[in-house]
Structure 1
């Protein structure tokens, strides 16, 4: 028995555990995966999240390993139309940190193990959950058989396919978008250094972000004629395996940006569609959902993982107070309303980001590009957009 059970040991669950453990709360973390996930999708860590992570003592080592993105560029036709600096968004962290999610999780897991040896349990698949109003009991399968745990409070940080959410019977509002993307990591030969770059092509936007180890991530918005993985259309990502898909991405980047990347240096490749999932409530009895279990937003803009961390940072002092016997009902209601509004704002921002990157006719492309250049040329507006982009 523990004071708090956390379901899920992704970046949000591990951060939640670290926050509570360092405040003296007895925490047990149950994770279905037997080992950490090595492939990284999320890479961007925004200043408010860095400030929260600093509270657990992991930010400095993450910053030392990652790449500090201090500005972004919008390019079209080989010319730079606009620049955006993050210098004014934060006195302490005037940048977006680029660090692969697998490395972020490794830093957080190390901290959890330092604070509570034996708190993290892997290979535990949740199969049942019941809330009697005073404690929550869970049942799970492990390699050794069925185990049962209970705690006064359960925090669900088990992702977009949350088992806790399903067992609780909580509906989720889903919105599907027509957008889909192909992204991959390659050796960086651009000369952009630590800058992010957005290529405003009429065929669809191309995003490019630096990664540690002289790598760069490329994200291509797929058009209606581009096939999916394994699809029959040889003109799109091909049914010839990852090598063929990397070559297709290379050709697409060259066509839309004029830059060459070496397909042979590809180290990660992933196609993803876009949807929004939002729960109507994050608190259900003695169960609280945070991160992707409560809200999934488009990866375009890189706010999803950060949103979950800010959930955890807001929830941690409430949980600590509850463990010490305080009445936190009003604080939980405030937390829920505030974080649901934050998720809705992030979803709207992601919709704007996606809309700006969709394929356009030549006339609309020219209008969009002139608009972006004009807006960026007004310093107060440029600064405001930079703050919105970095979750301020």
Structure 2
């Protein structure tokens, strides 16, 4: 095997010394710092409310743990397997490092795929807590099913890419073979983008139906769109597998750009899931910042559950507090008695003459016009 190693004289000056591993370390470290801060802020924001924690909070915990595993794998790829250097340089230094690189690449998928899935599921579960419309909720469940199915399909496919499985990281096994791995990397990115598009369009119908001003609806839409910002990194990462395909095939350890965008994509998905649930922190901002804070920070849950505050009731409103009788002829119930004991003892009049007759008895009465407005006609039938 040593005889097959390339000679340093075959390469131009500086080729074997080239090392882009620092870029992967920088990307992974930046994502680690940002996501850790945002995750801590998300947990703190939820502690400021009396609402119980939901599944949108719970699934972020394993998503963060898996993200840490992904970042740890990237550090190991650079420090222990030569990621960022040309494969010829790695082979001349230690041929076993290439096997280690391939093994860490296999392990990386076990962290990357489920972490992305859980971060996006967290956003959709948050929508489930907001939406009450039947079809919107069905759409949310369908998107969750798609995300989980795509995750499972990708993990299963990763176990079948090479036969036997150990050939994935040990190419010295006789008779081993793999399917077209580059094509698989390229194609598996499109379901991720499709999932992002589905998450992005989920709240459109609800937001469009709000009886609110256009700026307010735009602000709410901006908050919801933060749940899909990972699509930007996903598109860039997909393009890398096409533009850098030759490098990935022929000089895999030098394909640092694909690894950097893998960390960025996973981190952006997790960051988006954290950002969309941070509205309670707004109440803790200094007063001078609140006056400059855009309306887009309005709490999504509150904005969507109070759809329109100008809809007048078209039908009588009945409750235990509204059946009040003021008719003296109502048997044992005298004037001012009520049908329900919970209601207040307030006299009512059929005509204004009745009111004026009582007013002439030198009693003080208050005439009040009560206008009931409701905003749940569409989403809370």
TM-score (norm 2): 0.29
TM-score (norm 1): 0.28
Which has the higher Rg, Structure 1 or Structure 2? Answer: 2
Which structure features the higher share of helix residues? Answer: 2
Which structure features the higher share of strand residues? Answer: 1
